[in-house]
Chains A and B, each alone.
Chain A
């Protein structure tokens, strides 16, 4: 099964040095997952201060500054993994550095049959 692991946390929970260290550990985890055949994708996201929200209502596009929801804990990055079951996915979520200060939301992915395969 495929799962998306969404990393939520307060953006001020770590400073710049800790963030750099976190990127390093997260990249290592991505390589480890690749080696075990469980890696499909991962990325950190820039701060929510860079977020732009887009809605189309009655055919009219509305663009606003800011994230979908103003909350203290924000989406800061994600992994997409391949795991046999939820227990395995939880085991991987536990290894994400952000789990130590934020929350990892584990979401099973709906696999649509007719999506394009990997971008090349």
Chain B
């Protein structure tokens, strides 16, 4: 920060910039030093309030982050002392805080970087409920407010606030550690983190039109989180997940019409696809694939990249997609993957072959309540001219579908069937 810049910009704005860039890192470090989420949050706010005052007088320090951590820590001691007047059980903590001082000049950058990893792993700990993991991650890692998260998840703010309070209480009382998991636990624990990130993304991606604005932000947060995670802990599946999200996100403008109706992949205007996101996503898939340590996210991203690489639907390499689904079904068997594979088979070998696979899944009793299984079946029946079967399946799909754009799409398809008969 040059002197002239400092002189021309109000200190409030400068501190706001620092807040945006540094507040989550400072917070993550304060949690480690103070051992308490709420105390760290109070200390963080006190530190930034002090910054506005002191930086106006003395100028911005050379290392604002170190200054904020150090100040936050001293403020925490004040907070504890104030509380101690009311709570006699805390003097030990105050003493501990008072005897150690943070060395601002010689602090360990690696340790500090690891603090954000500790925070991610703690927020996504499997001992917390999935809902709580998502809420905590958005609140503590992304710095969203409780109101913002509640709005994005269509949850009443008091419900969400309580979820966060309970989760923090569990972290404290059950002794959920603030640490990066050990080597042998890491794959499972990382998987839990990726699940949270993907959940956040999908919440923002499969949006109804009315909420599309707030929810697109959620997808953006998920992508930012994945980028940060790759930077902190490079892993093939994290790259695969980021690739998958970027490739999905690249179609955002094409996947719904101006009036919010759903547009299927094959009907999308491919000139609306975001080329930068496709290029980045495809490059990430390739990087993940060469590691040979990839998993389901990378494979799904690879499938998405094949679609992204096709100039038009007819040019899609369906054989490649079926092949990737075979590998995926091996790595992560599930009826939903079988269903997607069946649709790809229909594109490669004709609707009859695909329909046989879908009927096999439904006859087994799997996916009976999954609307996409019935709409896929309806679609193939329609192509085969089996209008009555198509109608039955579209109607079943409509009964099960929750999202308004999907329901409108199914109603439109049903109306089109009427014009055929």
A interface residue numbers (CB < 8 A to B): 1, 3, 83-87, 89-90, 106, 108
- By secondary structure, the B interface counts as loop
Residues facing A in B134-192 (CB within 8 A) are 173-177, 179, 181, 185
Bin chain B's interface residue count: 10 to 19
Chain B contacts for A87, CB-based, 8 A: 176-177, 179, 181, 185
Q: Does A85 contact B127, Cβ atoms closer than 8 Å? A: no
Cα of A106 to Cα of B125 in the assembled complex, Å: 15
- Chain B residues 182-216 with CB under 8 Å of chain A are 185
In the complex, A106 Cα to B176 Cα: how many Å? 12
Q: Name the distance in Å between A110's Cβ and chain B's nearest Cβ.
A: 9
Complex Cα spacing A102 to B181, Å: 25
B80 CB, nearest partner CB in chain A, Å = 20
Tell me the smallest distance from the CB of B332 to a CB of chain A, in Å.
24
Distance A68 CA – B320 CA, assembled complex (angstroms):
59
Query: For A89, what are the chain B residues with a Cβ–Cβ distance below 8 Å?
Result: 175
Top 6 A-B residue pairs of the complex, sorted by shortest distance between their CB atoms: A85-B177, A85-B175, A1-B175, A86-B175, A86-B176, A108-B174
Beyond A86-B174, A90-B127, 9 additional contacts (C-beta under 8 Å) are A83-B175, A84-B177, A85-B177, A86-B175, A87-B176, A87-B177, A89-B175, A106-B174, A108-B174
Give chain A residues whose Cβ lies under 8 Å from the Cβ of B173. 108
The CA of A85 and the CA of B178, in the complex, are separated in Å by 9
Give A1 to B174 CA distance when docked, in angstroms.
9
Chain A CB count within 10 A is highest, among B127, B173, B175, for B175
Cβ–Cβ contact A108 & B175, under 8 A: yes
Give every chain B residue within 8 A of A108 (Cβ-Cβ). 173-175
Q: Chain B: residues with CB nearer than 8 A to chain A? A: 125, 127, 173-177, 179, 181, 185
- Most chain A CB within 10 A, of B125, B174, B176, is at B174
Bound form: Cα–Cα A48–B175 in Å: 31
Alpha-carbon gap, A90 to B173, bound state (A): 15
A-B contact pairs, 7 of them (CB 8 A): A83-B175, A84-B177, A85-B179, A86-B125, A87-B185, A108-B174, A108-B175
User: Smallest distance from the beta carbon of A114 to chain B beta carbons, Å?
Assistant: 13
Closest to B181 in A: A87
B29 CB to nearest chain A CB (Å): 19
- In the assembled complex, the Cα of A71 lies from the Cα of B173 at a distance in Å of 28
Which among A84, A87, A90, A106 has the highest number of chain B CB atoms within 10 Å? A87
Cα–Cα, bound, A85→B176 (Å): 6
A37 CB → nearest B CB, Å: 17
Q: Which residues of A contact B181 (CB under 8 A)?
A: 87
Complexed CA–CA distance, A83 and B125 (Å): 17
Complex Cα distance A40/B179, Å? 25
In the complex formed, the residue of A with least CB distance to B121 is A87
Q: Which A residues are in CB contact (< 8 Å) with B177?
A: 84-87
With a cutoff of 8 Å between Cβ atoms, the chain B residues found around residue A90 in the complex are 127
Q: Which residues of A contact B176 (CB under 8 A)?
A: 85-87
**Cα of A108 to Cα of B127 in the assembled complex, Å:** 13
B185 CB contacts on chain A under 8 angstroms: 87
Q: How far is the CB of B238 from chain A (nearest CB, A)?
A: 21
- Residue ID in chain B nearest A89 by CB atoms: B175
What residues of chain B lie closer than 8 Å to A84, measured between beta carbons?
175, 177
Interchain nearest-CB distance for A7 vs B (Å): 18
- For residue B298, give the distance in angstroms from its CB to the closest CB of chain A: 28
Q: How far is the CA of A84 from the CA of B177 in the complex (A)?
A: 9
Least Cβ–Cβ distance between A61 and chain B, in angstroms: 33
Cα of A1 to Cα of B175 in the assembled complex, Å: 7
Closest to A91 in B: B185
**How far, in Å, is B88 (CB) from chain A's closest CB?**
11
- Cα of A86 to Cα of B179 in the assembled complex, Å: 11
CA A25 – CA B174 in complex, angstroms?
A: 27
Minimal beta-carbon separation of A104 from chain B (angstroms): 13
Minimal beta-carbon separation of B181 from chain A (angstroms): 7
Nearest A residue to B176 via CB reads A86
Determine which of A1, A83, A86 lies in contact with B127 in the assembled complex, contact meaning CB atoms within 8 Å: A86
Q: Which residue of B lies closest to A3 (CB)?
A: B175
* Chain B contacts for A3, CB-based, 8 A: 175
| Nearest A residue (CB) for B172 | A108
CA distance in complex: A12, B174 (Å): 31
B-side contacts of A106, CB under 8 Å = 174
